[in-house]
A and B are shown apart, each in its own frame.
Chain A
Amino acid sequence: MKSINWPTILVIAVLALFPAVVPSDYYRHIFIIALMWVVIGSAWNLLAGYTGQVSFGHAIFFGTGAYTAGLCVTKLEISAWWGMLLGGPVALVVGLLIGWICFRLRGPYFALATIAVGEIFRLIATVWRDFTEGMEGILIIQTFRSKIPYYYLALFLAALCITVIYLVTRSKWGFYFVAIREDQDAAESMGISAFRYKSLSLMISSFFTGLAGAFYMNYMGFIDPQVVFSLHYISIMAILVGIIGGVGTIWGPPVGAFIMVLLQETFRSSFFGLLPKWISEAHILVFGLLVIFVIRYMANGIIGDWSKIQRLWSKDRELLSASGRN
């Protein structure tokens, strides 16, 4: 792939112009959340897709970042924006410690360990009321009433995250990550310290996820443990974003993020109020069906199987034009 290509420039241009073209705060909000998920999904993908260490616990880092920003206000009495500087590094340190424990385990056992650690973090944040305010959560006053500053900040974070991950995957580290994913024993015998490079991958991944968490605190103005440390809304969502878009690809998670957020919003709003309310309850069911469909027919996700999709498309058109002639 060339380092500069037209589709990328087109995507950036469309996203940069979006708030100017679309005046609705509602749609701007959806895009801000989608861009935040681009960051989380891409970060998860570096660890799971490239390095092969499937995490079911990315809420740990998201929540840590969000609480770092929140605690800046409640404990340090400084602006939550400091969280944008501190959230990433704090999440990175947490990631390093968790990796130190969990990377003794391989494959599904690592994944199970991350679920357990994630739940531990959620429970601590819930129970330790003196520190985290428990279930009451942390409420701050947002800096901007307009969505536009948040939109461009989210866009910047997404672009930064994708760029860093793109550069990493094309460096020595990237080769080492994929080698570990493909065969850890072979990688070790090639001079690769699996533990060291898995930790590096986790550190980059947790840094960006923590950054997204700090952004969430600043943007939403409210967090509580059930949201930011949620297994379902954060950890599983990160996996879905990765799987739908395509693991182990640069553009998979960004595409997955937009699909998942738009889909979630479509259901949450009961198809923008057009269908009865109970439809909003069905979104988890639809997520499940979507995952089954993707795994069955496009195991590499939308981007990973893009050539396959294109082939089907052209075949369909051929069939159509053939039947048109008859």
Chain B
Amino acid sequence: MAFFETQRLTKAFGGLIAVSDLSFKVEKGEIFGLIGPNGSGKTTVFNLINGYYPITSGSILFEGAKLNGLPTWKICKLGIGRTFQIVKPLRRMTVLENVIASAFNHTSHMAEAREKALEVMKFCELDRKGDYPAKGLTIGDRKRLEIARALATGPKLLLLDETMAGLTPQEQLQGVELIRKIRDTGITIVIVEHIMHVIMNICDRILCINYGQEIAKGTPVEVANNKAVIEAYLGKE
């Protein structure tokens, strides 16, 4: 039994097949990269995993249990956290309140939730911004807040959707550090990313998709040298 797997996952929006027959496995403790050109269906895969879209056919298994048809909040309770590519800070709450709201996922006690939130914020280096209103954060801090909020729910599997996009090179390096730190705590990570040096550096394995279909799978070096991948990104000679 794989830690996490999709079996022949398919999603159709009317006549448009956004994800087609996609099967992959993620092992516990690894960083798994999902790449592909714009519009290839990466975010759709995430939206299927966390139940935001209903699945057309196929199935998703997490620790042996089927996730098909479960509501988003239940999937989160089972231990799958996610960040959004287009960040969704709870604007009129402070950073601390954002994270506390998430930390209530496995407790109903304010003191416990607060403690968990402070711990996560320290981990994500947001501890000095606790009293900032979320709407006033820079894009880098908003991305950190997304990660902090997902971590505070206590996930076993974390889905990171382009957490590096729009960051400065310096911030990207810090982001890579943070993702490694998260993996070192035992959390499995699936990451969607466009920035190649990031993805090539941190991933154990990569799946490349185009038009919702698998075109290559393997270690970063294998995928980077794959002809189909190069064609998908750069076009044919």
Residue interface mask B47-68, A partner, CB < 8 A = 1: 0001010000000000000000
Q: Which chain A residues (183-241) contact chain B, with CB distance < 8 Å? A: 183, 185-194
A179 touches B101 (CB 8 A): yes
A267 to B155, CA, bound (A): 59
A192 to B104, CA, bound (A): 9
Question: Which of B52, B97, B110 is in CB contact (< 8 Å) with A185?
Answer: B52
Q: Which of B6-14, B87-95, B210-218, B220-228 contacts A (4 or more CB under 8 A)?
A: B87-95
Residue of A nearest to B90 (CB): A182
Min CB distance A136 to B, Å, is 47
Is B34 among interface residues, defined by CB-CB distance under 8 A?
Answer: no
Residue of A nearest to B79 (CB): A191
Main secondary structure of the interface of A (DSSP, over half): helix
B105 touches A190 (CB 8 A): yes
A188 touches B91 (CB 8 A): no
A148 to B25, CA, bound (A): 72
A191 touches B90 (CB 8 A): no
Q: Which of B70-78, B163-171, B200-208 contacts A (4 or more CB under 8 A)?
A: B70-78
Min CB distance A114 to B, Å, is 23
A178 touches B105 (CB 8 A): no
B101 touches A189 (CB 8 A): no
Min CB distance A14 to B, Å, is 32
B73 touches A188 (CB 8 A): yes
How many positions in chain B have a CB within 8 Å of any CB in the partner chain? Answer: 29
Is B120 among interface residues, defined by CB-CB distance under 8 A?
Answer: no
How many positions in chain A have a CB within 8 Å of any CB in the partner chain? Answer: 20
A186 touches B88 (CB 8 A): yes
B97 touches A175 (CB 8 A): yes
Known pairs A171-B110, A175-B104; A190 contacts B92 (CB<8 A): no
Question: Which of B50, B76, B90 is in CB contact (< 8 Å) with A183?
Answer: B90
The interface centre, meaning the residue of A183, A191, A192 with most chain B CB atoms within 10 A of its CB, is A191
Is B100 among interface residues, defined by CB-CB distance under 8 A?
Answer: yes
| Chain A residues whose C-beta falls within 8 Å of the C-beta of B72 in the assembled complex | 185, 188-189
Is B188 among interface residues, defined by CB-CB distance under 8 A?
Answer: no
Is B153 among interface residues, defined by CB-CB distance under 8 A?
Answer: yes
Q: Which chain B residues (128-166) contact chain A, with CB distance < 8 Å? A: 149-150, 153
B88 touches A185 (CB 8 A): yes
Residue interface mask A154-192, B partner, CB < 8 A = 1: 000000000000000011100110110011011111111
Q: Which chain A residues (244-302) contact chain B, with CB distance < 8 Å? A: 248
| Chain A residues whose C-beta falls within 8 Å of the C-beta of B110 in the assembled complex | 170-172
A192 to B71, CA, bound (A): 10
Question: Which of B76, B84, B97, B100 is in CB contact (< 8 Å) with A191?
Answer: B76
Residue of B nearest to A171 (CB): B110
A182 touches B73 (CB 8 A): no
Known pairs A185-B52, A190-B149; A179 contacts B73 (CB<8 A): no
Known pairs A185-B52, A186-B84; A191 contacts B102 (CB<8 A): yes
Is B116 among interface residues, defined by CB-CB distance under 8 A?
Answer: no
Question: Which of B52, B74, B97, B102 is in CB contact (< 8 Å) with A190?
Answer: B102
Is B82 among interface residues, defined by CB-CB distance under 8 A?
Answer: yes
Min CB distance B91 to A, Å, is 6
A176 touches B84 (CB 8 A): no
A316 to B134, CA, bound (A): 32
A175 to B82, CA, bound (A): 19
B73 touches A192 (CB 8 A): yes
B71 touches A190 (CB 8 A): no
| Chain A residues whose C-beta falls within 8 Å of the C-beta of B89 in the assembled complex | 183, 186
| Chain A residues whose C-beta falls within 8 Å of the C-beta of B185 in the assembled complex | none
A182 touches B102 (CB 8 A): no
Known pairs A170-B110, A183-B90; A188 contacts B71 (CB<8 A): yes
A190 to B153, CA, bound (A): 6
The interface centre, meaning the residue of A172, A178, A183, A248 with most chain B CB atoms within 10 A of its CB, is A172
Residue of A nearest to B146 (CB): A186
A194 to B72, CA, bound (A): 10
| Chain A residues whose C-beta falls within 8 Å of the C-beta of B76 in the assembled complex | 188-191
Min CB distance A241 to B, Å, is 21
| Chain A residues whose C-beta falls within 8 Å of the C-beta of B91 in the assembled complex | 182-183
| Chain B residues whose C-beta falls within 8 Å of the C-beta of A172 in the assembled complex | 104, 108, 110, 113
Known pairs A183-B90, A189-B76; A175 contacts B101 (CB<8 A): yes
Known pairs A185-B52, A189-B72, A190-B102; A178 contacts B113 (CB<8 A): no
Known pairs A188-B73, A191-B76; A176 contacts B88 (CB<8 A): no
The interface centre, meaning the residue of A183, A185, A186, A192 with most chain B CB atoms within 10 A of its CB, is A186
| Chain A residues whose C-beta falls within 8 Å of the C-beta of B50 in the assembled complex | 189
Ranked nearest first, the 3 interchain pairs of A and B with the lowest CB-CB distance are A182-B90, A186-B88, A191-B76
Q: Which A residues fall within an 8 A CB radius of B? A: 170-172, 175-176, 178-179, 182-183, 185-194, 248
Q: Which B residues fall within an 8 A CB radius of A? A: 50, 52, 71-74, 76-77, 81-82, 84, 88-93, 97, 100-102, 104-105, 108, 110, 113, 149-150, 153
20 contacts between A and B (CB under 8 A): A175-B97, A175-B104, A175-B113, A178-B97, A179-B93, A179-B101, A182-B90, A185-B88, A186-B90, A188-B71, A188-B73, A189-B50, A189-B73, A189-B150, A190-B102, A190-B149, A190-B153, A191-B77, A192-B101, A248-B92
